[in-house]
Chain A
């Protein structure tokens, strides 16, 4: 499984766009990049998944450069309720492989 590296913590003011970058230098050809969000006292929640270029949904955008060795989760106009831990994972396209969570990035949104 490809190892991921992301900042331990980030601070942001409300209304700003937040970009969290994740490095995965050893990503394999068939690996997908997946991001999860975990609020205090809750289980992780799937946010977005992508393979290359850009993926957007109602929660976030995921930017993946051509070499796929990194990815950036972009949260537009964050609010206090976006305060959470964000996990970047690399998921093999093989099914039934348990997700391996790293330390994640603790995002604190300040009023």
Chain B
């Protein structure tokens, strides 16, 4: 049973296309996140959702639109893909509350924009 699962694991597409990455967690957590890890391996927070509500949007272009249909799912839709969007995107989840430094990450979705 995978705690945080992302699909697809690999995605190769052309510039200008629109694509989505799905994320599901079966841990019963209230908070979910999207992180981006670029070629230099920096891991940066993009979005954070708590109980389906957006609570963090870290200056991400509005071509990126997260959608949370329920607490267990946080999908990432990207419009008009650009070369610089090539990266590994990680979904994560955590409990809500004080001192919760433990995030559970998915295995990542490697996006390559040609």
Bound together, the chains give a CA A99 to CA B102 distance in angstroms of: 9
Q: Which 7 A-B pairs have the closest CB atoms?
A: A43-B105, A91-B101, A34-B101, A101-B43, A98-B45, A46-B102, A95-B98
Using A96-B31, A98-B33 as known contacts, say yes or no to A46 and B101 having CB atoms under 8 A apart: yes
Q: A98-B56, A103-B42 are in contact. List 18 more A-B contacts (CB 8 A).
A: A41-B107, A42-B108, A43-B106, A43-B107, A43-B108, A46-B102, A46-B103, A46-B104, A89-B101, A95-B99, A96-B31, A96-B50, A96-B55, A98-B33, A98-B45, A98-B48, A99-B101, A104-B41
Known: A96-B31, A99-B45. A43 touches B99 (CB 8 A): no
Q: List 10 A-B contacts (CB under 8 A).
A: A32-B101, A38-B43, A46-B101, A46-B104, A94-B98, A95-B97, A95-B98, A96-B55, A98-B56, A99-B103
Q: What is the interface of chain A mostly: helix, strand, loop, or mixed?
A: loop
- Complex: how many Å from CA A34 to CA B100? 10
Across the interface, do A49 and B50 meet the contact criterion of CB distance under 8 Å?
Answer: no
Q: Within 8 Å CB of A95, what residues of B?
A: 96-100
B58 neighbours in A (Cβ, 8 Å): 98
Contact in complex: A100, B45 (CB < 8 Å): yes
Q: Which of A90-111 contact B (CB under 8 A)?
A: 91, 93-96, 98-101, 103-104
Contacts of B108 in A (CB 8 A): 41-43
